[in-house]
Amino acid sequence: MFIEQAYKGNNTWWRVLITTLLTAGVFLINFVAYFMMSQEEMDAVYKTMSEVPNNLSLLINLSPFILLLLLLFLLVRVLHERSVLSLTTSRKSIDYKRILFSFLLIVSLTIVMFIISYLVDHSNIILNFNPLKFTILFAISLLLFPCQIGLEEYLFRGYLMQQIGIVVKNRWFPLLFTSIVFGLFHSANPEVQQMGYGVMVFYIGTGFLLGIMTLMDESLELALGFHLGNNLMAALLITSDVSAIHTDALFKYSGVEKPVDMLNEMIVSIAIVYPIILYIFAKRYNWTNWKTKLTGKIQAPKLQTTN
C-alpha cells in the first residue's frame, strides 16, 4: 500500500532529518518569521509585496518551488535509495488519467460555483481581463504551479506521510499530523491576517481532504490533480485584495470582503463540497474499507527466506 512504499528505501533517521529540513525548510522559516514579526512589520511586508507587479510577484514566489521539488526527488533517490514512483503511488505506474479526472472535476466545480455566484449577485465582481497580462499569467501558471503543488503534495502527502507512517505504525496519525502542519504552514497568507486564525480551519480541512484522497486511493494522483486545478482557478479566474496571491485574473472582487462571509463560504466548502468530491471519487474508483485505510495499522513487509 501507499505508506508502506517507504520500506523500499533506506530510512536511517539522519537521512530523514536531512531531507525534511532541506525541503520543508522554506515553510519552517516562513512560519517562524511570521510569528516573530510585529503587526507593523507584517503590514509593511504585505505593502511592499503589493507594490510589485502581479506577474513578477507570482514569478518570484513560485520559482523556488522548481529547485525544491527537484531537490526532494534527488534526496529520495540518492539518500533514501528509492524511486519517485514509490513516492507517488503504490501501483506499478502513475495513472495520469486519475490526475486529469481530479483536475477537471475541481475546475468544473469551481467554474460552476462562480457562475452561480455571478448570476445571484455580480455587483462587486468586475471584469479584470487584460490580454497581455493574462497571457503572461497563464504561461507562468502552467509552468510553475505544477512545481508548487508538486512540492507540497510530494512533501506532505508523500514523503512525510510515508515516513511518519512507518514510524508510528498506523495511518490516522500521519493523516492528522500532515493535515494540521499543512494548514499551519499557510498561516502567513494575507487572508489569515485579514480574517483571523479561523481561516486555518479551511486550510487544515483541505489538508484532510487531500490526505484522505491519498490514503483511500493509495496514491498521490488525485491529490495532485485537485491541488493543481484549485490553485490554477485561484490564480486565473478571480482575484481580490485579500487573496493569498494577487494576480491579473479574468475577474476581480471589488467589494469589501467581510471576514464572516468568507469564513461561511469556507465552511460550506468543507462541510458540503468536500464530501461531495470524496463521494464522486469513491464511486468512480470503488473505494472500500474506509476505516482500515484511514486508521489501520502499518506493518513492515516480511523478509522472504530461502531454504
Q: Which residues contact 151 (CB under 8 A, 6 or more apart)?
A: 23, 65, 68, 69, 72
Q: Which three cell numbers stand for residue 126?
A: 468586475
- Mean pLDDT rounded to a whole number for the chain: 89
pLDDT tops 50 at residue 304 = no
Hey, which residues does 89 pair with through a beta bridge? Answer: 219
In a domain, 146, yes or no: yes
Give the structural domain span for 44.
3-295
Q: What is the rounded average pLDDT of the residues 225-243?
A: 90
Note the pLDDT tens digit of each residue in 113-163.
Answer: 999 989 998 888 999 999 999 999 999 999 999 999 999 999 999 999 999
Beta strands 251-253 and 125-127, pairing class: antiparallel
Note the pLDDT tens digit of each residue in 240-293.
Answer: 876 767 899 999 988 766 666 667 777 888 889 999 999 999 999 999 999 999
pLDDT tops 90 at residue 32 = no
Q: Is the sign of the CA dihedral 219, 140, 244, 159 positive or negative? A: positive
Q: Which three cell numbers stand for residue 261?
A: 462571509
Q: How many separate domains does the chain show?
A: 1
Instruction: Supply the pLDDT for residue 306.
Output: 43
- Whole-number Å distance between alpha carbons of 171 and 165: 6
pLDDT tops 90 at residue 223 = yes
Q: Structure pTM?
A: 0.92
Band of residue 166 on the pLDDT scale cut at 50, 70, 90 = very high
Instruction: Supply the pLDDT for residue 303.
Output: 57
pLDDT tops 70 at residue 307 = no
Angle at 32 between CA 157 and CA 63, to 5 degrees: 60
SS3 52: coil
User: Whose CA is closest to 141, among 209, 237, 50?
Assistant: 237
The DSSP 8-state label assigned to residue 287 in this structure reads -
In a domain, 305, yes or no: no
In a domain, 302, yes or no: no
In a domain, 138, yes or no: yes
